[in-house]
Structure 1
Amino acid sequence: MRKKDRGEAPTKEVMKPEEGEVICVVKKMLGAEHIVVLCVDGKQRVARIPGRMRKKVWIKEGDVVLAAPWDFQSEKCDIIHKYGNDEIKKLVEEKVISREVIDQLRG
């Protein structure tokens, strides 16, 4: 990014979990686009990184993601979105999720 481009970035709307979606923290990378996530609802699931995100969004352990659990296998889910640090701050400010929950899931 050039120095002159570093002005105030336009505020983008943060993706919030809708019905059938849950915020999760990445616990373990399994390989072959599969990861283990610990979700806010208390369940541990195996998540799949979809093809549209595979080489564009890099996910590592400790990242906060938005996932959609499968209807027919509730212990599996698909990753919808990876939250950046600024997006996590906005979620905490808007009281969508508390900082303690994220720290507890990461810990």
Structure 2
Amino acid sequence: MPKKEQPTPVREVVKPSEGEVICVVKKMLGAEHIVVLCVDGKQRTARIPGRMRKKVWIREGDVVLVAPWDFQSDKGDITYRYMNDELKRLIEEKVVTRDIIDQLRG
């Protein structure tokens, strides 16, 4: 009896919540620090938290979700890295526009 192929479940795309900003990785600084350009127009130094360090590999040009620090708004923590298909869904759902991402990637 042949197995029925089950459609892969469509996961919910992580959207920026209150206090989070979509950013593009500009430069890797080393020691888990990177420079990101954010949709709100600011350039921040972001930190890759320990829970992501060896599990999620981040490169220049990747689109990430950053939670800016309350006490230093020019710094923040990376909370999520978007895959290409998730980025397409964000654009389809009009969370962010393709123009802004392309402009930030430069």
- TM-score normalised to the size of structure 1? 0.93
Q: Which amino acid aligns with 2:42?
A: K
Tell me the residue number matched to 1:83.
Answer: 82
- The superposition leaves residues 44-100 of structure 1 with CA deviations (integer Å, 9 ceiling, x where unpaired) of 000000000000000000000000000000000000000000000000000000000
For the residue of structure 1 that corresponds to 2:9, the secondary structure is: coil
Q: 1:38-77, aligned counterparts within 5 Å?
A: 38-77=37-76
Tell me the residue number matched to 1:94.
Answer: 93
- TM-score normalised to the size of structure 2? 0.94
Unaligned runs of 5+ in 2: none
**Number of matched pairs:** 103
Tell me the residue number matched to 2:103.
Answer: 104
For the residue of structure 1 that corresponds to 2:90, the secondary structure is: helix
Between the two proteins, what is the percent identity of the paired residues? 76
Q: Which amino acid aligns with 1:58?
A: W
- Please state how far the C-alpha of 1:8 moved relative to its aligned partner: 3.7
The structure having more radius of gyration, on CA atoms, is 2
- Please state how far the C-alpha of 1:7 moved relative to its aligned partner: 6.5
Unaligned runs of 5+ in 1: 1-5
- Please state how far the C-alpha of 1:9 moved relative to its aligned partner: 2.1
- Please state how far the C-alpha of 1:39 moved relative to its aligned partner: 0.2
Q: CA RMSD in A?
A: 1.4
CA distance in structure 1 between the aligned counterparts of 2:55 and 2:6, rounded to whole angstroms: 25
